[in-house]
Amino acid sequence: MTVDAAAPAQTSNRPSFVVCEGNEAAAIGVGLARPDVVAVYPITPQSSLVEHLSQMIADGRLKASLMNVEGEHAVLCGLQGVALAGGRTFTATCGPGVAFMFEPYVRTPGLRLPMVAALVTRDLLSPQCVWGGQQDAMVVREAGWIQMYCETVQEILDTTVMAYKIAEHRDVMLPVNVCHDGNYLSFGVTRVELPEQTAVDEFLGPPSINWHIALDPLRPMGVDPLTGGSGGAGPRNFVRYRKGQCHGMQNALRVIREVHAAWGERFGRYHAPLVEEYRLDDADYALVTIGSMTGAAKDAVDVAREGGEAVGLIKVKTFRPFPVEAMTAALAKVDRIGVVDRSVSFGWNCGPVYQETLGALYHTGKPIAATSFIGGLAGADITVEHFARAIALTREAQFGRSPREPLWLNEND
Amino acid sequence: MQRQSRDHFDASTIPDDLAPIATTLSTMLPGDWRSMRPVIDRLKCVKCGLCWLFCPVQCVVEKPRWFDFDLAVCKGCGVCAQECPHRAISMIEELGR
């Protein structure tokens, strides 16, 4: 479907591409998915996403109801009602907004409501900050939502549409967070290819949201009753639902791959669904990255390659569910890694992606040197030079002699 | 007027490990939770009805000369014993199941 800008053959007046920021790309993706109700409370750096969506609805370009609510908690409570009534929904938030949304947020996966929400990732308070960082998304990584991290503005648009197909798959039925880096992707402006509406309609199919749990006078039921106390069938009921939720997450690993493949076939853009391997097959060591930092990291890998270094890169796109098999296969190809995080695991004194990569390393059966780098907090830039330093330090690392301390890339900036 | 409901749909047609739903009335009564039970002194009860009025789970049942309690429903909160103006209700510990 990728249409060359010079090609005149257009079936509609709609341009085949636009130049826009990441938040607008997300809004365009939402528009293509045709949600019934949108409720978004503005918060930096997500605010322009709300503005784009509001404008689309006001102009009649998106036939959806815009629900004006008083805060993020009400956003998600309201949208749960919409989903239970069978509607396709969208919201977006970040940072303190996620914190305020937390109570209905943790309930959404358990209700198996296939909602889609953008997380325009932002570092958490305090110290006071309104800039990008992935701490908000990492804090909620055990809430039960699927998390996919985008690398480019184009990937935001494509992933937002794909997210609906993944969430609404009968074997998944879980909410999806499409995560894109605040500032760097939210306000980064670039050329973006636009898929045709009819093609997206065919790709997604009609929504089927509330076939399993509903607020519907024609199908009267109690929604989410108590599963019972410890005296009767309560414990086994609860375990059955929890296990079902875990199975849904594991099914998502397969469905995410299938949907990305189908998207590539249909629209000509193939994004790595779970883990991307970059120049890895003949690499001795590798960086592990997540999100928009990957662009600069790939440039740094290219520069090092020109200098004769056998370095590659592993990018995590899907972080929840964690792609254990794909990650294990990638890690097995190298004998040293350096993991770069844009957030902090306070419990382990390292980055969260580093911590989870160590978990995947267990499955390779091969202990290797692993170094934790933390950079890009509160909007800081991780430059090619920072990555060059991370590459040099990763090359020198030896197993068993890694410091139990992360290396803070922006410490002296 | 448009019909607002129909027969319950067949819940067995959807997987039973998704989200909890209820299509039949739960028989789970609060009597299971009780650690204390109310006992009425029939000679002191004047059937003023205050216990009936205060009972949060509506377990007070009327007898010819006194009020008594449906122990399948009573959760043992003791509000009736607290409110009875004739001290006709006492709470005793539940022993065994």
CATH of residue A380:
3.40.50.920
Cβ pair B17:A240 closer than 8 A = yes
Torsions phi, psi of B79, nearest 5? -60, -40
Closest-approach residue (CA) in chain B for A231: B32
Instruction: Identify whether A363 is part of a domain.
Output: yes
Query: What is the C-alpha radius of gyration for chain A, rounded to an integer number of angstroms?
Result: 21
Residues 214-233 of A with CB under 8 A from B: 217-229, 231-232
CA neighbours closer than 13 Å in the CB half-sphere of residue A159 = 31
Same domain, residue pair A222 and A264: yes
State the angle between helix axes of A72-84 and A95-110 in degrees (0 to 180), rounded to the nearest 10. Answer: 30
Say yes or no: A362 and A391 in one domain: yes
Cβ pair B21:A223 closer than 8 A: yes
Same domain, A111 and A194: yes
Instruction: Closest CB to A213: pick one of B6, B8, B19.
Output: B19
CATH for A160: 3.40.50.970
* CATH no., domain B30-93: 3.30.70.20
Which of residues A273, A308, A332 is at a domain's end?
A273
SS3 A31: helix
Task: Pick the last residue of a domain from A273, A305, A337.
Answer: A273
Q: What is the pLDDT of residues A18-65, one digit of tens each?
A: 999 999 999 999 999 999 999 999 999 999 999 999 999 999 999 999
A282 with A224, same domain: the answer is no
Chain A: closest CA distance from residue B32 (Å): 9
Whole-number Å distance between alpha carbons of A212 and B19: 7
From the list A80, A72, A30, the residue with the least C-alpha distance to A51 is A30
ipTM of the complex: 0.81
User: CA-CA distances (angstroms) from residue A162 to A26, A153, A200, A261, A266?
Assistant: 12, 14, 9, 11, 12
Q: Do A212 and B17 touch (CB under 8 A)?
A: no
For A84, the closest chain B residue by CA position comes to B19
Closest-CA distance of chain A to residue B35, Å: 14
A171 touches chain B (CB under 8 A): no
Q: Which of A217, A226, A244 sits opposite B18 (nearest CB)?
A: A244
Tokens of A48: 């322009």
| Whether residue A317 sits in one domain with residue A244 | no
Picking from A213, A249, A251 by the largest number of B CB atoms within 10 A of its own CB, the best residue to mutate is A213
Mean pLDDT of the A352-379 span: 96
Question: Are the beta carbons of A72 and A93 closer than 8 angstroms?
Answer: yes
Q: pLDDT tens digits, residue range A186-227? A: 999 999 999 999 999 999 999 999 999 999 888 888 999 888
> What's the rounded Cα separation, in Å, for the pair A20 and A4?
17
User: Which is nearest to A180 in space by CA: A225, A129, A137?
Assistant: A137
Pure H helices in A114-233? 135-139, 153-167, 197-204
Count Cβ–Cβ pairs < 8 Å, chain A vs chain B: 62
Q: Are residues A288 and A215 in the same domain?
A: no
Residue B88 binned pLDDT confidence (cut-offs 50, 70, 90): very high
Work out the average pLDDT over A332-343: 97
Q: What is the mean pLDDT of residues A275-295?
A: 98
A336 and A363 together in one domain: yes
**A247 close contact with B: CB closer than 8 A:** yes
Confidence of residue A232 (pLDDT cuts 50, 70, 90): confident
- The answer to whether A275 and A323 have CB atoms below 8 angstroms apart is yes
Contact A221 B15 (CB under 8 A): no
Output the pLDDT for position A1.
40
Q: What is the pLDDT of residue A385?
A: 98
Q: CA A341 from chain center: how many Å?
A: 15
Q: What is the mean pLDDT of residues B56-67?
A: 95
Report the residue from A217, A221, A229 with minimal CB separation from B22.
A221
**B21: which chain A residues are within 8 Å (Cβ-Cβ)?**
212-213, 221-225
Cα atoms found within 13 Å of the Cα of residue A405, Cβ hemisphere only: 4
Check A229 against B20: CB less than 8 A apart.
no
Report d(CA A264, CA A63) in Å as an integer.
27
Phi and psi, residue A381, nearest 5°? -85, 135
What are the pLDDT digits (tens) for A58-78? 999 999 999 999 999 999 999
Chain B residues closer than 8 Å to A224 by CB: 19-21
- Asked whether residue A320 is domain-assigned, the answer is yes
**Nearest CB to B23; choose among A221, A243, A247:** A221
In the predicted model, is pLDDT for residue A6 greater than 70? no
Report the pLDDT averaged over residues A99-123: 98
> Across chain A, what does the average pLDDT equal?
94
CA angle at A88 for the pair A220 and A225, rounded to the nearest 5°: 35
The domains of chain B are located at 30-93
B→A interface, C-beta within 8 Å: 4-6, 8-9, 11, 14-23, 26, 28, 32-33
Q: Are A215 and A77 in contact (CB under 8 A)?
A: no
Question: Where does a domain end: A252, A273, A294?
Answer: A273
Does one domain contain both A313 and A252? no
Give the residue numbers spanning the domain of A40: 1-273
Please list the residues that pair with A87 across neighbouring strands. none
What's the structural domain count of chain A?
A: 2
Distance CA A225, CA B23 (A): 10
Residue (of A256, A258, A251, A276) closest to A326 by Cα position: A276
CB A150 within 8 A of CB A291: yes
**A413 located within any domain:** no
CA distance B76 to chain A (A): 17
Rounded CA separation A201/A33 (Å): 7
